[in-house]
């Protein structure tokens, strides 16, 4: 049964999909291919990058899939609760980098320990949900990256607020090497991508896929993951082998709480 947070027995590629959706494939969308190209440039330059866009568009999946190929064993991922402080960043990085001993009590000493760890070998630091970061937090990342000893590239992944905060601060935005916006799939992309995304859509009528997108998918991968998970269970319960409008009616009832 799919869960929101897949267990440790689920492979990384499956875990990247919302709900850890069994059978889901990573599709080479235009956004994914652009992410791979941009990350390759950022890694080569040891620079900063900002990927931003609405929730559920595949930003984190695209970054994870690309970095598995481009920087295996070099990635350090961090994620924060709402409104973190520079102190939170220090402690989360300390844990993520698996630094031995107890965290230093004073900020200057703490920064010295982190910079030592970040100078040992090249790492790509991925900061997910970066829309929660304040100007102070972005400044702290800049402080780490600016230090001549550290050997890092930094990738910010977040909502539109991430873009707005960075753009308002010339000292920060001038250091971002690549900006990439994620947008919803248009109708043509949906018809091309969704049949490759999961086997239950491979034989579905294109009209059914378009209807599902206009009613509930809206070009959003996370929405399509929910549609697909419900549709897969509906096929089993209704003893069907193809998604049609009857199956979608069952799915939409689950998603909306209303009868279709």
156-189 confidence digits (pLDDT tens): 999 888 898 888 888 888 999 999 999 999 999 9
Average pLDDT along the chain: 91
Q: In this predicted structure, what is the pLDDT of residue 169?
A: 82
pLDDT at 10 over 50: no
pLDDT at 14 over 80: no
For residues 125 and 96, give the distance between their C-alpha atoms in angstroms, rounded to a whole number.
10
Q: In this predicted structure, what is the pLDDT of residue 20?
A: 80
pLDDT at 205 over 70: yes
For residues 77 and 141, give the distance between their C-alpha atoms in angstroms, rounded to a whole number.
14
Q: In this predicted structure, what is the pLDDT of residue 17?
A: 79
Catalogue the long-range contacts made by 190-195 (C-beta closer than 8 Å, 24 or more residues apart).
Answer: 190/217, 190/219, 193/27, 193/29, 194/224
Q: In this predicted structure, what is the pLDDT of residue 258?
A: 62
**pTM attached to this predicted model:** 0.89
Least confident interval from 88-97, 99-108, 156-165, 193-202: 156-165
Q: In this predicted structure, what is the pLDDT of residue 150?
A: 98
Q: In this predicted structure, what is the pLDDT of residue 8?
A: 38
The residues, any chain, with a CB within 8 Å of residue 49's CB and separated by 6 or more, are 38, 39, 42, 153, 154, 155, 156, 176, 177, 178, 179, 180
pLDDT at 21 over 50: yes
| Rounded percentage of the chain residues whose pLDDT exceeds 70 | 93
Place of tokens 């909306």: 256
**Contact call for residues 161 and 155 (beta carbons, < 8 A):** no
pLDDT at 193 over 70: yes
Q: In this predicted structure, what is the pLDDT of residue 40?
A: 99
Of 250, 248, 179, 183, give the one whose Cα is nearest residue 221: 183
């Amino acid at each position: 049964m799919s869960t929101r947070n897949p267990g440790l027995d689920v492979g990384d590629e499956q875990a990247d999909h919302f709900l850890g959706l069994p059978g889901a494939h990573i599709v080479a969308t235009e956004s994914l291919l652009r992410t791979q190209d941009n990350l390759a440039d950022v890694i080569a330059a040891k620079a900063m990058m900002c990927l931003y866009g609405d929730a559920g568009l595949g930003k984190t999946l695209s970054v994870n899939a690309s970095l598995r190929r481009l920087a295996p064993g070099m990635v350090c991922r961090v994620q924060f609760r709402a409104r973190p402080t520079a102190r939170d960043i220090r402690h989360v990085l300390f844990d993520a980098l698996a630094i031995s001993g107890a965290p230093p009590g004073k900020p200057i000493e703490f920064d010295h320990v982190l910079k030592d760890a970040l100078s040992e070998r090249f790492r790509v630091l991925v900061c997910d949900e970066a829309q929660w970061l304040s100007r102070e937090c972005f400044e702290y990342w800049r402080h780490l990256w600016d230090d001549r000893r550290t050997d890092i590239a930094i990738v910010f992944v977040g909502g539109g607020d991430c873009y707005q905060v960075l753009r308002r601060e010339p000292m920060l935005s001038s250091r971002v090497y690549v900006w990439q916006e994620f947008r919803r799939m248009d109708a043509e992309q949906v018809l091309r991508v969704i049949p490759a995304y999961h086997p239950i859509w491979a034989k579905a009528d294109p009209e059914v896929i378009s209807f599902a997108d206009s009613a509930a998918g809206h070009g959003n991968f996370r929405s399509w993951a929910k549609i697909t998970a419900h549709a897969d269970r509906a096929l089993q319960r209704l003893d069907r082998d193809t998604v049609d409008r009857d199956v979608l009616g069952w799915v939409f009832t689950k998603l909306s709480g209303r009868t279709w």
